[in-house]
Amino acid sequence: MTRLAAVVFDVDGTLVDSERDGHRVAFNTAFAEAGLPDHWDVTTYGGLLPIAGGARRLASWFESTGRTPVEARRLAERLHARKTEIMRDLIADGRVQARPGVHRLLDELDAASIPVHVATTGTRAWVEPLLERVFGPRFQTVVTGTEVPELKPSPEVYLEVLRRTGCPADRTVAVEDSANGVRAAVAAGLRCVAAYNPYTRDDDLSGAALVTGGLDDPALVAWFRRHN
């Protein structure tokens, strides 16, 4: 096995437990502030997660609840801007934390001098403060949904990381938690290791080289030791 050139991490649900107690809460606060009756409980939000990108998720929801497409898009844009501000506040308050095992895996990759990067469809305005607060200056290259024309499952965000770093795809490994993420990584030519969470437990992760229940799973730790 050739040595790994780099490891590229997804953010939401992979590096951090951000969905249920981060994004979902921020969306609900934005709804309430705007005087809207909409509210996403844990199960409803889980059903919306396959729609990548907060603004798209909002627009799809508003259309499904009877707003016209134009109204839905306008409302989604306004709410998404406010939701991003609220998410930044939640991050500053320490409400979004690393998933178990992430810090140890990053330490091991660092000790092996393997560069780590980020490929996320999240918005740069909250991704940057989140990475800074939870991980410090760990990641060399960070590409977000703000910089690419198409979100996962499109491979665009991974291809952009490869372009910027010069890493060969076949020696670069992605770490993902969801079906959309695994599809994006594999379509970009990367091998992918998947660590599902309660929201993505039933996702089709069959494109991944390894599927585990967490980044602290001994099988995942052993996989990286074997491949670096």
Query: Which residues sit at the interface with Mg ion, rule CB under 5 A?
Result: 10, 12-13, 177-178, 181
Q: How far is the CB of 26 from Mg ion (least distance, A)?
A: 16
Return the number of the residue (10 or 156) whose C-beta is nearest Mg ion: 10
Return the number of the residue (18 or 75) whose C-beta is nearest Mg ion: 18
The catalytic residue positions are: 10, 12
Q: How far is the CB of 35 from Mg ion (least distance, A)?
A: 31
Q: How far is the CB of 3 from Mg ion (least distance, A)?
A: 26
Written as one string, the DSSP assignment of the chain is: -PPP-EEEE-TBTTTB--IIIIIHHHHHHHHHHTT------HHHHHHHTTS-SHHHHHHHHHHHTT--HHHHHHHHHHHHHHHHHHHHHHHHTT-S-BPTTHHHHHHHHHHTT--EEEE-SS-HHHHHHHHHHHH-S--S-EE-TTT-SS-TTSTHHHHHHHHHH---GGGEEEEESSHHHHHHHHHTT-EEEEE--TTTTTS--TTSSEEES-TT-HHHHHHHHHH-
Return the number of the residue (12 or 59) whose C-beta is nearest Mg ion: 12
Return the number of the residue (68 or 206) whose C-beta is nearest Mg ion: 206
Q: How far is the CB of 228 from Mg ion (least distance, A)?
A: 23
